[in-house]
Structure formats: C-alpha cells, structure tokens
Amino acid sequence: MPKVTETVVIAAAQPKVFEFVSDAKRAPTFVPGLNRISNLSTATPQVGRTWEFEFNWFGLTLSGNSECKRFEHPTLYQFQTLTGAKSTWTYRCESKGGQTQLTLEVEYDVPQNLLARFAAQPVLEKMNQNRARETVANLKVLLEG
C-alpha cells in the first residue's frame, strides 16, 4: 500500500496533543476536506470505537465507516477506514523537552477504477501528501494558538 508520512513539532505537552488528535469527533476541525463525523459508538476514544465519516474528495462526497484499532495513551493512536478505499491513519506522539513531535502516517489503498477515473497514481500520491501536511500544520496552529 502507498504511504505518506508527515512530522511536526508542537509546542504543547504530549498528553494534550494526544488527547486532541485521538478524539475522532475533533477531526473535521483539522483534517482538510473532512465534512463531518457522526454516529460515534462510544463517548470516549478507545479501541473498537466506530464512527461514520463524510469526506469531500475534490468535489465528490465520499462516506464510510471507521474504527479505532490502537489507543495507547499518550503515544499512539490508529484508526482504519473500513469501507471502500481502505486506509490506516497512525498518529505518534513523542515528548521532546516539553514539546511534542507528532508524526502522521497514512497508508492507503487505491481502487484501480477510482484511479483510472480521477488521477494518475503520482498525482494522487502528491494530493495525499499535501493533505497529510496540511493536517499536521493545522494541528500545530490549533494547539499552539
């Protein structure tokens, strides 16, 4: 599966950063194109929590389900999109002298019919890389103020 990785250092404590990124309902505030999250199965983040998402993918609306796969406070949070084009999103938080190094890794599967219809693979990779970069940049802005 293709993979994109982005890292940013945030001037905030590791637990604060982890708790912010690991609550799926916050995601529309920092993930570009994510319209909404709904039908969360639990009030708090935990392994097995599921939710529905709706994503604006360059003018098309994609919707599907996701599930939290790993929740290791305050270091690692991972979820997978379960339907359609599958992807795995992993956030890693590492304390760096009072600041936090946040790494976002997105592994994604590209259905060939989607690829043929909308983009060549290198173009798609570039778009996903840009989206991951924007996501971590937005997190830095929101958490540092």
112 is a contact residue toward other proteins (CB under 8 A): no
Alpha helices in 9-110 (DSSP H): 14-21
Return the number of the residue (59 or 97) whose C-beta is nearest other proteins.
59
DSSP structural state of residue 26: G
Smallest separation (angstroms) from other proteins to the CB of 78: 20
Rounded to whole angstroms, the Cα distance separating 44 from 104 reads: 21
Phi, psi for residue 25 in degrees, rounded to 5: -70, -15
- DSSP character for 42? S
* 130: contact with other proteins by CB under 8 A: no
> What residue type is assigned to position 8 of the chain?
V
Q: How many C-beta atoms surround the C-beta of residue 56 within 10 A?
A: 12
Q: Does 54 bind other proteins (CB under 8 A)?
A: yes
Cα Rg, the chain, nearest whole Å: 15
C-alpha to C-alpha distance for 53 and 36, rounded to whole angstroms:
6
Would you count residue 36 as binding other proteins (CB under 8 A)?
A: yes
Please pick, from the candidates 58, 61, 98, 122, the single residue that binds other proteins as defined by CB under 8 A: 61
Instruction: State which residue, 62 or 76, has the beta carbon closest to other proteins.
Output: 62
Binding mask 64-103 for other proteins (x = CB under 8 A): x----------------x-xxx------------------
Contacting positions for other proteins (CB under 8 A): 20, 25-26, 28-30, 35-36, 38-43, 54, 59-64, 81, 83-85, 138, 141-143, 145
